[in-house]
Chain A
Amino acid sequence: MSTTTVMKPSRRKGPISFLTILGWFTAILFFLPIAWIISTALKPKNTVLDIPPKFVFMPTFQNLVDAVSFSNTLQYFVHSAIYSFTSVFLAIFVAFLASYSFSRFKPAGTDFLMFLLLSTRFVPAAAFVIPFFQLFNVLKLKDSFLGLIIFYTMFSIPFSVWILKGFMDGVSTKFDETGMVYGASRWHIMFKVVLPQVRSGLVAAFVFNIIFVWNEFLFNFQLGGLKTYGIPVGLFTSITKGGQVDWSFVASIGTLYVMPLALVIFFFQKYLLVGLTFGTVRGEV
């Protein structure tokens, strides 16, 4: 069972089946509203609100160009990338250490700590923003990448720990013991022996958390500033132009901003499927 696929291999082969058509139909049905957003981004600006709607039109890239060149859009993209990727990587790193500890040493109160970690993830964000605002003020972390990265790292730690611990539990302790016998240090075992075996867990934790951090709005808005705003804030504060919703702008930004995540999902799909099980399918990995 060394295959990485989680699908049950179906015995069916041959020409396009009914199930295939149904599958594609479902996927496209769910994608339709997104397709509408993308088509709006490609429509000439003055035809966006036309009724009957224009289904066939000469696509233009003007809206995308306008959206990217509007105000600080490009910087916001860079900001989003900086704080999202850094914090999720950092979260996965510390979560990796912690989950190794939870899995191998089982320190006192492991269950309780895991419980605490997860429960805080479940409180609505609005409850925490003001305390963070005051904390960040005291620590002079407002409108700084350091502050946002610290926050989003915390934001991403609980699920990362949970996913990784699941995977880690699935890696036999025999590996550790063998390593120890050959005199390898704990660090060596962790990074050279165990880490390669939980790679899918790492990717899954990454994908799962980046979706949340990439689209997070409230903290970025309240605790960030021009130096650290990301795209969700940039989008929200510029929805209206002259009192009117600028649909072309919203559609263009929405389209461009989803691309990195769509690519991630496309290329790392199998890891995503495995990761969301919190390591339960480790037997298959």
Chain B
Amino acid sequence: MLGQVFHLVYIGNGTTLLSGNFDFPLTLHAHCLRIPTKDNPTPGCVWGKGVLLSTKTDNNIDRRLFLKGGAIAVAAIPMSGLLAACSKSSDSGSVASDSPLLGSNADNMKGKTIDFAYSRIGGWPPSSAPETQWADFQAYAQANYGYTVNAITFAEAPFGELFQKVAPTLASQSQEFNLLIVDSQWLGALAEPGWIIKADDVIAANPDLDIEPYSSLVTNTYQVYPDGSGVRWGFPQMPDVQGVFLRKDMLEDPKEQAAFKKKTGKDLASTYEVLSEIEYADLVEIIDFFHRPSKGMYGTALMYSKEYDFFSCAYYPFAYSTGGRIWDPATNDVYGILNTPGNAAAMEQFVSLKKYQPKNFAAFGIGDMIDLFTQGKVFSAWQWCAIGKFMSSDKVPADKVISIPIPKWGGKRIGAMGGQPWVINAFNDDDHMRVAIDVLKWWYTKETQDKFILENGGLPWSKEACANPEYQAVGHYVKPFLFMLSEGNSQDFWHLPEYAEMLAVQQEAFNGYATGQVKTAAAALEYAAAKQQQILFKAGRTKTEPPANVDSLKL
């Protein structure tokens, strides 16, 4: 396929881009040509002279988009236009005045009644907030554009299972979910087959949706795919970073402080100012001090579960902060980058904390952090900041809790990103596309964000919102949250479509090391790196072959 001459027509919901003959660059192939058609229902691309390419199955739309020979004349739009659309620039051609990507205007939706559906993460309040606040949108749509939206419907599932619910619907070009809240790792898997609308196209039509983020972390985590390309596909819905939650009451207890001083000769840190700059070794010293298993109080808790990305995300800060990398986004290589002595040492350190935790630490996930901490069983827990609101209970009330950024390793710290973006279903018909855009516009209004952040467990991510003192006062966890969201303090990992497979082998191997099934951290990393290299090689992401023994590797 590479190098073949194409007459290419690419239509992305109102944005029409045409090109003349050109050599088909592979990178372009990755971003632009996931166009499923009626004749070729599996997402792929169709080419040839004057060939119709449509992302739509609806007959009317097909006719509208049907571009016969004459339309090829439009190919006068220079090839650079297409290239631009697929690269950094956000102004991907001009937007037709009736493009649904503009959202509704005063006339085109007037008097209509419409159903609307979205997908969300089960039991996760920030992701159910759109439903909670839906009455506001209904009023907004009626007041601004004169149409009626029915009660929003949704599908929800836990993190690990939501993708399997939405992916088949998108693969069958269904608009079952008009808007989707997804995990940031899924961006590639959704973008490459052409299942979602490019956020850049939407932003080109609606410059007010181009909101300046607090840091590049927001853009890189929730919006851009492939990494470093600058092409945006998602809109931030709920940002999230990692922190450590500690028992403030225990830290501030004068008796404990005296005992700590006696034991270590140091002052027991108890204020945010000191704790937020703490070195890893010093934090472990405090954890060790408060570790009293005979009294039912453990020193700390971290996530080592095999579930979804729990172990990986908890482990990453240990690797990142000590100079490790887990892959090379430029070449898509893993082998030799993940399996380094440095990363192995980091994993050994990460797992060595098991001595301060209950026996079944290897099964800990987000929920266990909450249960252990709020039931008063652990002195500290390494947890997502977005959960901050739930890290207190009647047994451990919020005023006894302090949250801090992750500690420093020799002055350096880099956490892992969490959180979710919105993405727009590419198979929405025009009306639903307009409403989807309207929902996003509404979502980012000050009023909606106020309600989201102040009442429904949301967190800010834009430069403006992050500076809002009202938002900063929502909880003690906002301070470490903003710190970790600052430039360079956190980073996300792969957004490739192969993420699920890669994650599964890695979680299995890492969890195997935590439980003793795999003898050394180096072996676990070797296994994960080799298998991931194989996955990426088979998918054509890299030209570097996996090691020869990859098939015979066992845990």
Contact = CB atoms under 8 A, between A and B. Distances in A.
Q: Please tell me whether chains A and B touch each other in their complex, using a CB distance cut-off of 8 A.
A: yes
A225 B384 CA distance: 30
Contact of B393 (A46, A225, A236, A240): A46
B155 A243 contact: no
Interface in A217-248: 221-222, 225-226, 236-246
B122 A244 contact: no
Nearest to A241: B123
Contacts of B393: 46
Contacts of B366: 243-244
A240 B158 contact: yes
Given A237-B157, A238-B122, A238-B123, A244 B390 contact: yes
B107 interface: no
Contacts of B338: none
Nearest to A130: B168
B309 interface: no
B158 A222 contact: no
Given A225-B155, A225-B176, A242 B168 contact: no
A242 B122 contact: no
Given A242-B387, A242-B389, A237 B370 contact: no
A236 B174 CA distance: 24
A49 interface: yes
Q: Give the contact-size bracket for chain A.
A: 20 to 34
Contact of B122 (A130, A137, A237): A237
How would you classify the secondary structure of chain A's contact residues: helix, strand, loop or mixed?
mixed
Contacts of B105: none
A265 to B, nearest CB: 31
Given A221-B165, A242-B389, A242-B390, A226 B155 contact: yes
A134 interface: yes
A222 B166 CA distance: 9
Contacts of A137: 172, 174
B118 to A, nearest CB: 12
Interface in B118-168: 122-125, 153-158, 161, 164-165, 168
Contact of A226 (B153, B375, B390): B153
B208 interface: no
B399 interface: no
A179 B345 CA distance: 84
A133 interface: yes
A243 B172 contact: no
A66 B153 CA distance: 21
A222 B125 contact: no
A142 B176 CA distance: 10
B122 A243 contact: no
Contacts of B154: 226
B370 A222 contact: no
B123 A240 contact: yes
B336 interface: no
Given A133-B172, A222-B165, A225-B176, A244 B156 contact: no
Interface in B348-376: 366-367, 370-371, 375
**Closest 9 CB pairs between A and B?**
A240-B123, A244-B370, A242-B390, A237-B122, A137-B172, A244-B367, A243-B366, A133-B168, A241-B123
Interface of A: 46, 49, 51, 130, 133-134, 137, 142-143, 221-222, 225-226, 236-246
13 contacts: A46-B393, A46-B394, A142-B176, A225-B153, A236-B158, A239-B122, A239-B123, A240-B124, A242-B387, A243-B370, A244-B367, A244-B370, A246-B123
